[in-house]
Structures are given as C-alpha cells and as structure tokens.
Amino acid sequence: MCIFTHKLFPPQWRKAAMNFLKLFFQCSLRLCVFAVIIIVFLSGTNPVIAQTNAATGLPFLKLGVGARSIAMGEAYTAIAEDASSMFYNPGALAFSPSDEILLMHKQWIVQTTSEYLGSVIHSGDIIFGIGLNSTGVSGIEIREKPGPAEGTFSQQNAAINGTVSYRIGSTFGIGASAKFLYEKIYVDEASGTAFDLGAFYRMNSFLDLGASLSNLGSMNALRYEATSLPTMLRLGGAFHDNLSDEIATVTDADVVKVFNDNGTRIHLGGEASYDNTFALRAGYQFGYDEKGFSAGFGVHYAPIQFDYAYVPFKNNIGTTHTFSLIFRF
C-alpha cells in the first residue's frame, strides 16, 4: 500500500501527494520528448554538441541570473514571469505580469560572486526594464617569481542595461536592450556597449515560444587587445499545464549557441508549484564539461517571492548557491 493512501494522512494531503507523483512522471516524459526533438533537429545541422575552448571574454554575460531560472537549467527564453526575462529574452518582458524589483546574490565557484538588480515598470502595452549585473573575483594572488604571493588583486565585471519591450495584441511581444559594459583586471580596465534583441510568441494557453540574440557589440582595448563579446542565440519553448486547481507545471527547453565558442548547448527545465505558494524545480544542461544538473525551490507569499538554486559542478570543482528576492507591486 502506498503510504500516501494511509488514513493517518488528511485527505487533502493524500490528494496533493498523489498529484505530485503524477506530475513528476508527466514532467519527466515531457523533458524526454523535448530532448529527443532537439537532439534530432541538431543532428541534421551540427553533429557535435559539445563544449570547446571559449574564444570570447566577459564570461559573466553567459551566466544566468535569477534563482528560479538557474534552478530550471537556465531554459528561460520562453518564460515571461519576472525581471530576469531581460537577461534571457527582452521580448518576453512584454508579458511580465506586474511591476517588480528582483534582487539576486550568487555564490559561484573559485571565490566568484555575482549580484543582480532588476526592475520592471509597466506603461500600457510598453514595458520598461533596468538591470545591473555585477560579478567579481577577489583574492587573486600576485606572483612575479616563485615563492610567497606579493599581494592580491581582484577582477570586476559589470553590465548596466535599459530594456524596452512592446506587447502586440495578446500573443506577440518584441523587445530590445542597450547595455553598458565594464571590466577591470588588476589596474587595467575597459568599457563597451552591446545590444540584445528578442521576440516572444504565445501560441495558446499552454505553449509559449521565444527567441533572442544577445551581446551584439564591442569593447575597448584592455591594455593591448579588446575582449571579444560572447554573442548568443537562444531558441526556446515552454509548456504550461494545470494538473488540478492547486497544482501547475512548467516544462521548458532551450537551444543555446554561443558564436565563436564552437558548440551548441541544450538547456532543459521543469517546475511544479502548489497553490501558487510553493514550487520545486529541476533542470539539466547538455554540452558543458563541468556542469549539468540543477535544482531549487521557491516560496511565494504575496507580494514577496523567495527563490533558491543549487548547481553542483563535476570533478570536485564545487557548488554554486543562488538566492533571489522578488518584490511585486
């Protein structure tokens, strides 16, 4: 006998537990279907899906923002539900449900920390967004010869973006972001500009599609040479379903191409939420040497939402922890 059918548990608990078991198998099946479709598609265009040595700089522009999206494998191109949409697809911001402020702190590997602040403001069919993304590495040792370190220095990267997204009818959204970029390594620093473009299509109440092109721009020279930006193409889909009045699911998949980095990545993710109050999330990223699985949860108590994401790295490199707070008003 399943323990969830035991009479010691209240009827509503038994119902919720059985529904969660059902949605687990349904989400697993959908993720498998998404993966098969994407792999078959890519096999006709690029037989190798793998990570190779990067030829671009400013890697923080490739690291996801927002604990919810990171827990869901950063498969967020076709999801339009919070301020982190500015990072993945400015066109999806047109369907964000409310004005909000998003705060994120990420403790990454190798003493790297990231902070993100995003704000969304609605004005009719036009939505405005502002974002600040900062990443730094501290305690890098200085050595000019073998022996004890002569000191330490830090590396800092930052991006400030302004986003405008426009909603066309009830099904289509387009958006663009302009970004100011800054990098500093020891005493050398450089700046630059970049642009993001995105489109979002709500096919029906179940299926959303998204596409974006990010980091189109250039940097000034850092000492002798300018850093090449990681221009990225994202294509994604998200399937929404309500298993009951209390339980809702989201299953999403992205294809991510970073130009000049040779290789295509696949991001898969899923979420199951109960009564719009508590959510469990998981994801997997294919095509990376050192990472794959991700997981997390979220708690929503209007008007505040707290999210957490956990990403373990392979080969004992470490784990990352991401925390987000969203204030809606």
Q: 321: which strand partners?
A: 107, 310
Within the chain, residue ranges assigned H as helices are: 11-43, 67-71, 85-88
Helices marked H in 251-299 — which ranges?
none
Query: CA–CA separation, 324 vs 288, rounded Å?
Result: 24
If DSSP codes are grouped into helix, strand and coil, which group holds residue 193?
Answer: strand
Specify the DSSP class assigned to residue 94. Answer: G
Q: Extract the residue ranges of the chain whose pLDDT is less than 50.
A: 1-6, 25, 28-29, 32-33, 36, 39-53
> Counting beta carbons within 10 angstroms of the beta carbon of residue 315, is it exposed (0 to 12), middle (13 to 18) or buried (19 or more)?
exposed
User: Contact, 201 vs 207, CB < 8 A?
Assistant: no
pLDDT at position 10:
64
The CA distances from residue 70 to 73, 99, 118, 225, 245, in Å, are 5, 22, 16, 32, 27
Say what the pLDDT of residue 327 is: 96
Both tokens of 243, joined, read 């298993």
Taking a C-beta distance cutoff of 8 angstroms, is the pair 307, 90 a contact? Answer: no
What is the predicted pLDDT for the residue at 48? 39
Domain boundaries, the chain: 9-328
Cβ–Cβ contacts within 10 Å for residue 89, how many?
A: 32
Q: Which of 135, 133, 82, 84 is nearest to 107 (CA)?
A: 135
* Per-residue pLDDT, 25: 46
Q: What is the pLDDT of residues 217-271, one digit of tens each?
A: 999 988 888 889 999 999 999 999 998 889 999 999 999 999 877 678 999 999 9
Render the burial of 22-56: b for 16+ CB within 10 Å, e for the rest: ebeebbeebbeebeeebeeebeeeeeebebeeeeb
Q: What pLDDT does residue 125 have?
A: 87
Residue 18: its pLDDT value, please? 56
Phi, psi of 52 (to 5 degrees): -125, 180
Protein fold of 9-328: Porin (2.40.160)
Whole-number pLDDT of residue 30: 55
The first and second tokens of residue 231, run together, are 């221009």
